[in-house]
Chain A
């Protein structure tokens, strides 16, 4: 299957807390993308991970690609209210046909 499973589905935390969201698949993929979608907007690409075991950092966001390239995680340090949104993992299945996970809805409270 090419399905991407994300967890948790919903997360509500206080500003300043840390959190991790996960993206899993039963199949190996060559690369994986993480997007963030804010209310009323389209998704915006945050990062693409390609190599098994790869870790990428984007300010307070840390993205990791599993060694077996079947899973990925996104860790946010010291969450801010501006981090509120829908976090989607996605993979290209060929010819730019991208499938998306169901997403993790994050709400950061002030």
Chain B
């Protein structure tokens, strides 16, 4: 198993600003992902955070809006840029383990006014 610390746990932000979410894992992991969970919805994969190279984004998500850093095997950040109310969601960091298991952080509850 992996212990994932994500911060901030919640934030209220103004339209047009940016927020950086941090994800720290207690062990080195190869696969690290960022998900979005819109209010009352399921989880949607934003991107795979690749160590030492650019993140791999899913359809509908772009680097300019959601820049991701992965400086080492235990840490990643996701920035939500130029926020609008439509970005209000829970953002979740997750890591992959053997047998297709995913472990998740507690999430960041973002509200954009």
Contacts and interface: CB of A to CB of B under 8 A. Distances in A.
Interface of A: 31, 33, 40-45, 48, 88, 90, 92, 95-103
B12 interface: no
Contacts of A98: 45, 100, 102
A96 B100 contact: yes
Contacts of A31: 100
A93 to B, nearest CB: 10
Contacts, number: 53
B113 interface: no
Interface string B86-113: 0000001010100111111111010000
Interface string B40-51: 011111001000
B100 A92 contact: yes
A42 B45 contact: no
Contacts of B96: 96
Contact of A43 (B41, B45, B104): B104
- Say whether chain B's binding surface is mostly helix, strand, loop, or mixed: strand
B75 interface: no
* Most chain B beta-carbon neighbours within 10 Å: one of A41, A98, A101, A103: A98
B104 A42 contact: yes
Given A42-B94, A95-B48, A97-B45, 11 more contacts: A42-B107, A43-B43, A45-B101, A48-B100, A48-B101, A88-B42, A96-B96, A96-B100, A99-B45, A100-B43, A100-B44
8 contacts: A42-B106, A43-B92, A88-B43, A92-B100, A95-B48, A96-B31, A98-B102, A102-B42
A95 B56 CA distance: 12
A99 B107 CA distance: 18
Contacts of B105: 42
A43 B42 CA distance: 10
A101 B107 contact: no
A45 to B, nearest CB: 5
